[in-house]
Structure 1
Amino acid sequence: MPKEVVLPELAESVVEGEILRWLVQEGEALKKDQPFVEVMTDKVTVELPSPLEGVLLQKLVKEGDVVPVHAPIALIAEPGEVTAPISDKKPSPAPSVQAQEERSIVEPGQVAEDDGANLSLFKPDGKPEQIKNPFTQVAAPSAAQSTPVAGASGRVIAVPAARKLARELGLDIAQIPGSGPHGRVRVEDVKAYAQGGTQAQPTTPETIGPKPPATGFPPPVQYKPPKGYENLETRVPLRGLRRAIAQQMSASHLYTVRTLSVDEADLTELVALRERLKLEAEAQGVKLSYLPFIFKALGVALKKFPALNSSLDEARQEVVLKHYVNIGMAVAAENGLIVPVVRDVDRKSLLQIAKEINELAEKARSGKLAPEEVSGSSFSVTNIGSIGALFSFPIINVPDAAILGVHSIQKRPVVNERDEIVVRQMMYLSLSFDHRLVDGAEAARFCKEVIRLLEKPERLFLEAL
């Protein structure tokens, strides 16, 4: 019997993936572990291997669809299995948000498609595996559920369409009260929360009818081409990496109180030190840029100013102070910005950091990053100076508390302590921070500590981490 292939859980925090490209067409033979579909999750593109040998009988989703983890994506027939003729029709369009929700409502005794735990990669078509129902352990709430309800897996109970809409709007699904069965968050709940933070009412005959005008967030601006220019535009679907970037930037804009602090550093001594060490690093096969020195300085400064190395857990109203330094670095890839993470910067040598920076940057540009290599940052850096901008206002990589923009090193005239005008190697630093977590004075002191270490780089080898 043909078997259903589902989207596997590719990483702990991944809840959905976008189908970028089918590598095998319907009717074509498949070998076990042969890549058959390309999926993007959290800015990382992966090729899924076939879980078994056979024939790709049917593609259940089309390119561009966003699919929740554990949702079926294809049917595969085993070798020698008699199958019906392959249909020539194209995959049906993805159901509307409302249709997805209606299909996803779960009554007691049923299994939710996206909330079940430990689903295998495939299951017999038409014969769901016997999986422990997470909802049998959840007491039925009243019609006016006041808070989101978590399933046995710990995730908030929500239909896939509502979870997708919340991500697109930059909303935390854990904050949205659900009005569906068992407190399930519905599409209407997400819309109501976005428009004014209120809860949608359960659909009953009494609630059907004219609704008052919405308040709160205005609807998105509807784009219309200028009259007479309708045929002079090209439309490109918002998909893949560009869609992931748009969602991340929207979340940063909506859910941080972003503030900017700008300072400058005299890197004349650092430029000289790097020049002396560059050839020795190359002899060990490592390209030594200025970025490893900056990461090393951040490893020291973040231990002294832990608020800059924190996150806000809004669902539990707790500030999370991190006892590790994982620095995300913005890399300009061909299709957009990617932020791979250098882990445990505070415990690595200068050359180790340099080597990892080079390797991750190359992986980012070639599209070979693994999901775990773009998650888990505690602070971020954007090296806009490599392109040449004077200074910038970086966007915080949520859920980090701050991001440091480092800019080009330029020779500029500076007045020294003897009132002499001298030429020095100067660089601007721009620190964006979430003012809910970091006070302005603390941000300024943090920048001064980073500058202190960079201006006298030998201190980097003396400071205890």
Structure 2
Amino acid sequence: MSHGSSSTRVSRTAIVQQHRFKGSLSSPLVATSSFRHGNQLIFNWARFVHVTQSCHKEIIPFKLSDIGEGIKEVTLKEWFVKEGDKVNQFDQICEVQSDKASVTITSRYDGIINKIHYQVDDIALVGSALVDIEIVESEKPPEEQEIQEGDAIQVGRSEESFHLPSQPLPLEKALAAPAVRRIAAEYKIDLKNVQGTGKDGRVLKEDILNYISSKENVTTSEQPAAAASTTPGPPAPQPSSPATPAQTPSPAAIPFTPRSITAPSDRKEAIKGYTRTMIKTMTAANEIPHFGYCEEINVTELINLRRRLKDVADQYNIKLTMMPLFLKSASLALSQYPILNSTLDVASDSIIYKGAHNIGVAMDTKLGLIVPNVKNVESKSILEIATDLQNLHKSAQGGSIKPDDIRGGTFTISNIGSIGGTYAKPVILPPEVAIVAIGRVQTLPRFDKAGNVVPAQMINISFSADHRLIDGATAARFCNLWKSYLEDPASMLLHLK
């Protein structure tokens, strides 16, 4: 086969595999001859080629699933991937903030992130695509493909540059929980620079805090060194004392010039996160006719009991506060007055009595007020209730509360006394029908049974109930029973299960 003086024979047989250059083939082909024309390669292909494998790439939109509780939209808080990253099933994709909780979204596919549809702080609707993932699926190829002999396929690259480029490996992402990533983002720290001590090198909260502390120590030590390296200049000459002392000007001689004050400019902030939840909940609560009731309770014996049980709880690494005792005693009272553990179904004109006592506890967090609930208080011991409260408080402060921790509440207790205040006007959380607020403990003078004035540990409670279902007499009887358990905690033993 002659191709002129400007052409040079290269080889009799060549295998060219598909790769990332323009004009690439979908499978290996066998060339019977090839030659150079200028800086390009020309191949003549055989008639029949057996194809061993082909790959089909499919772009799949990864949609935001329904996370329950009627949530229709979420706020994008943080991305753990970027376009071009390779992900496997169960890898973390992003963290979203609903009206009620933070949720980490994980991948359901193996593939490559093709496109990201939202930026941080954007609002994403349930059912919309968060990212597009490129999925590579192997297909069964046809047994044989026919290519006409003599067809010339021009590959637009010189022979010297004809090679298979290596695929760069993506940089590994540091393993860390969303709360740790949030701390790293606040301090602008690359987690790959932090030595992780957790499983598989996971960066723990202690690791990031130690890293921040070490950086601050280095900065502090550099400041004295810089001050010591500065050479002081010669002292300024002191002016000679005048023969006669200078007279101090009188106040009338000092002019007064009022300084101009510029107020900070107004700023506008989007409503999101737990604040959105509060707005929606309080708007719905405004439709409920609230009945208020207040009472004071002597908790001297309850405090003494808690002090005796605290050492026992410490052996189980459980922090025993007054709240588990409040919850358990309230559950015993709810068993006698189940109307306070119910909901009103206006649509069906009926009352739904809840079997479980899922008592919510209002918690003040950096992101706002949330009310997770302890499930099935009626069937749990005080130690189990204390454990659940401890775990909920830790999750709430770390911003990792789960939607299931918030949904399903039947009764709520708000301990405003932990911050301050004696009385309050608590607002019911729909669809519940009652809520109680507990004020701070005060040492006040009270009369004992013998008529002597003694110091007593007192708290005030403020009770709100849905007046459509609960009348004043029922609320008073419930509070009286709850008060008897708190003032004489030993009486609870007769009813504990």
User: What is the TM-score when the length of structure 2 is the normalising length?
Assistant: 0.60
Distance 2:289 2:124 in 1: 31
Distance 1:65 1:23 in 2: 15
Q: Runs of 4 or more off by more than 6 Å in structure 1? A: none
Distance 1:252 1:312 in 2: 13
Match of residue 407, structure 1, among 428, 431, 439? 439
Please state how far the C-alpha of 1:307 moved relative to its aligned partner: 1.3
Please state how far the C-alpha of 1:13 moved relative to its aligned partner: 4.8
Task: Give the alignment of 1:166-245 within 5 angstroms.
Answer: 232-245=265-278
Match of residue 290, structure 2, among 258, 274, 283? 258
Tell me the equivalent position of 1:294. 326
Task: Give the alignment of 1:34-433 within 5 angstroms.
Answer: 34-78=91-135, 232-253=265-286, 255-433=287-465
User: Which secondary structure does the structure 2 equivalent of 1:2 belong to?
Assistant: strand
What do residues 377-415 of structure 1 show as CA deviations (whole Å, max 9, x unaligned)?
A: 110111111112122111212111111111211100113
Match of residue 26, structure 1, among 83, 95, 106? 83
Please state how far the C-alpha of 1:62 moved relative to its aligned partner: 4.3
User: Which secondary structure does the structure 2 equivalent of 1:446 belong to?
Assistant: helix
What do residues 129-155 of structure 1 show as CA deviations (whole Å, max 9, x unaligned)?
A: xxxxxxxxxxxxxxxxxxxxxxxxxxx
Distance 1:257 1:420 in 2: 42
Distance 1:42 1:459 in 2: 41
What do residues 237-262 of structure 1 show as CA deviations (whole Å, max 9, x unaligned)?
A: 21122222222222222x32122211
Distance 2:288 2:461 in 1: 20
User: Based on CA coordinates, which of the two structures has the bigger radius of gyration?
Assistant: 2
Alpha-carbon distance change, 79 to 305 in structure 1, aligned in 2, over 3 angstroms: same
Distance 2:397 2:415 in 1: 15
Please state how far the C-alpha of 1:351 moved relative to its aligned partner: 0.9
Tell me the equivalent position of 1:9. 66
Q: Is the 8 A contact 1:409 1:425 kept in 2?
A: yes
User: Which secondary structure does the structure 1 equivalent of 2:292 belong to?
Assistant: strand
What do residues 186-229 of structure 1 show as CA deviations (whole Å, max 9, x unaligned)?
A: xxxxxxxxxxxxxxxxxxxxxxxxxxxxxxxxxxxxxxxxxx99
Alpha-carbon distance change, 429 to 395 in structure 1, aligned in 2, over 3 angstroms: same
Please state how far the C-alpha of 1:30 moved relative to its aligned partner: 2.9
Letter in 1 for 2:466: D
Please state how far the C-alpha of 1:284 moved relative to its aligned partner: 2.0
User: Which secondary structure does the structure 1 equivalent of 2:131 belong to?
Assistant: strand
Q: Is the 8 A contact 1:64 1:239 kept in 2?
A: no
Letter in 1 for 2:97: M
Please state how far the C-alpha of 1:54 moved relative to its aligned partner: 2.5
Please state how far the C-alpha of 1:63 moved relative to its aligned partner: 4.0
Q: Is the 8 A contact 1:326 1:343 kept in 2?
A: yes
Please state how far the C-alpha of 1:276 moved relative to its aligned partner: 1.1
Distance 1:388 1:271 in 2: 18
Q: Which is further off, 278-287 or 415-424?
A: 415-424
Distance 2:466 2:429 in 1: 10
Q: Which runs of 5+ in 2 are unaligned?
A: 1-57, 139-260
Please state how far the C-alpha of 1:308 moved relative to its aligned partner: 0.8
User: Which secondary structure does the structure 2 equivalent of 1:10 belong to?
Assistant: coil
Alpha-carbon distance change, 27 to 301 in structure 1, aligned in 2, over 3 angstroms: same
Match of residue 437, structure 1, among 469, 486, 489? 469
What do residues 265-314 of structure 1 show as CA deviations (whole Å, max 9, x unaligned)?
A: 00111111111111111112211111111111111100111111111122
Alpha-carbon distance change, 454 to 231 in structure 1, aligned in 2, over 3 angstroms: closer
Distance 2:346 2:107 in 1: 39
Higher strand share: 2
User: What is the TM-score when the length of structure 1 is the normalising length?
Assistant: 0.64
Alpha-carbon distance change, 456 to 36 in structure 1, aligned in 2, over 3 angstroms: same
Letter in 2 for 1:292: P
Please state how far the C-alpha of 1:264 moved relative to its aligned partner: 0.7
> CA RMSD for the aligned pairs?
2.3
Q: Which runs of 5+ in 1 are unaligned?
A: 82-227
User: Which secondary structure does the structure 2 equivalent of 1:429 belong to?
Assistant: strand
Distance 2:364 2:108 in 1: 34
Alpha-carbon distance change, 397 to 277 in structure 1, aligned in 2, over 3 angstroms: same
User: Which secondary structure does the structure 2 equivalent of 1:389 belong to?
Assistant: coil
Distance 2:137 2:425 in 1: 61
Letter in 1 for 2:265: L
Please state how far the C-alpha of 1:356 moved relative to its aligned partner: 1.0
Q: Is the 8 A contact 2:295 2:461 kept in 1?
A: yes
Please state how far the C-alpha of 1:14 moved relative to its aligned partner: 4.2
Q: Is the 8 A contact 1:42 1:371 kept in 2?
A: no
Distance 2:127 2:89 in 1: 19
Letter in 1 for 2:106: P
Distance 1:437 1:40 in 2: 35
Letter in 2 for 1:300: L
Distance 2:128 2:350 in 1: 33
What do residues 304-332 of structure 1 show as CA deviations (whole Å, max 9, x unaligned)?
A: 11111111122222211112211011111
What do residues 158-202 of structure 1 show as CA deviations (whole Å, max 9, x unaligned)?
A: xxxxxxxxxxxxxxxxxxxxxxxxxxxxxxxxxxxxxxxxxxxxx
Letter in 2 for 1:274: R
Alpha-carbon distance change, 53 to 230 in structure 1, aligned in 2, over 3 angstroms: farther
Q: Which is further off, 356-365 or 71-80?
A: 71-80
Distance 2:429 2:495 in 1: 28
Distance 1:351 1:19 in 2: 37
Distance 1:284 1:57 in 2: 49
Please state how far the C-alpha of 1:21 moved relative to its aligned partner: 3.0
User: Which secondary structure does the structure 1 equivalent of 2:362 belong to?
Assistant: strand
